[in-house]
Amino acid sequence: ETGVTQTPRHLVMGMTNKKSLKCEQHLGHNAMYWYKQSAKKPLELMFVYNFKEQTENNSVPSRFSPECPNSSHLFLHLHTLQPEDSALYLCASSQVGLSGNTIYFGEGSWLTVV
């Protein structure tokens, strides 16, 4: 059990569907992240939010749309995805300003695009 909860754990969606991944952190942190992990590439940072403000977008296609309504919740809205977007999507959080700014991850959401 971690302090970062992701739902759903598994999602299968068609290329024309719209779905969302949800993340909630219970650690009192002020920064949240989305990472993508696929078999062929190392961990890729997608988005960073500090105090609800997006501070980094790592050239992510617009079919991925993040939303951070408050410091505890983060969403990743998905639409018109491609099969190559199938991957494990990891949410994470950290406390900016603390020594080292250690990032803590959720269990991930396995996404399959068919």
Partner 1 sequence: AQSVAQPEDQVNVAEGNPLTVKCTYSVSGNPYLFWYVQYPNRGLQFLLKYITGDNLVKGSYGFEAEFNKSQTSFHLKKPSALVSDSALYFCAVRDMIRAAGNKLTFGGGTRVLVKP
Residues between 67 and 96 with contacts to partner 1, criterion CB under 8 A: 90, 92, 94, 96
Question: How far apart are CB 95 and partner 1 at their closest, in Å?
Answer: 10
* 100 forms part of the interface with partner 1 (CB under 8 A): yes
Question: How far apart are CB 65 and partner 1 at their closest, in Å?
Answer: 20
One-letter-per-residue 3-state SS of the chain: CCCEEEECCEEEECCCCEEEEEEEECCCCCEEEEEEEECCEEEEEEEEEECCEEEEECCCCCCEEEEEEECCEEEEEEECCCHHHCEEEEEEEECCCCCCCCCEECCCEEEEEC
- Interface residue list for partner 1 (CB under 8 A): 2, 4, 6, 31, 33, 42-43, 45, 48, 50, 55-56, 90, 92, 94, 96, 99-108, 110
